[in-house]
Amino acid sequence: MLLFVMVIVLGTMGLALIRAVRGPTVYDRILAANAFSTKTIVMVVTFGFVVGDPGLYLDIALMYALIGFIGTVAVLKVSEFGNLGQSQEGLSGQRE
């Protein structure tokens, strides 16, 4: 049963990857990349149950989720503001 779940999740990961490549807008691509990341977390946890050591793989999945969330927020801020939200004064180091 778990192998069937892994095949289904791999199929949905493929669909998310297609949307990330072909997305008409940058927000569609970001959303598809975030969905791909979420499906990767599900795949890691499922693989942990298949192998028989879910505790180790659950820790890995949690770290991947945190890094994926921070990365998604950073990419959204860059796409919205053109930087990570710093003022132009802070970037140039000079004050007028």
Confidence of residue 70 (pLDDT cuts 50, 70, 90): very high
> How far is it, in rounded angstroms, from Cα 37 to Cα 69?
9
Q: 55: which 2 tokens?
A: 């505790």
- Sorted by where each begins, the domain ranges of the chain are 1-7+26-79
Model confidence, pTM: 0.79
Q: How many CB atoms lie within 10 A of CB 61?
A: 20
Coil, helix or strand at residue 38: helix
Residue 47, amino acid: F
The string of pLDDT tens digits covering residues 36-45 is: 999 999 999 9
The string of pLDDT tens digits covering residues 20-56 is: 999 899 899 999 999 999 999 999 999 999 999 999 9
